[in-house]
Amino acid sequence: MRIDKLDPELLGLMRRSGCYLMALGIESASQRILDIGQRSSTSAWCGRALGWVNESGIEAWGFS
């Protein structure tokens, strides 16, 4: 799942439909590395999105 496409509403719908695990493409926790790679996500956004996933009750695996 692309982490920059998540929001609480989507996660709620996913959980209610039976989703219990997702793999997230985090890529890096370093904003400098994300900028160099011209990635659309930010390290702050990743933190918020991971919080939303945790609150939804969905287990998350991260890939870099």
For range 38-55, the mean pLDDT: 74
Q: What pTM does this model have? A: 0.70
3-state DSSP call for residue 32? Answer: helix
Partners of 23 in beta bridges: 61
What is the total residue count of the chain?
64
In tens, the pLDDT along 2-43 reads 777 889 999 999 999 999 999 887 765 666 766 676 655 555
Q: Is the dihedral of CA 41, 37, 31, 26 positive or negative?
A: positive
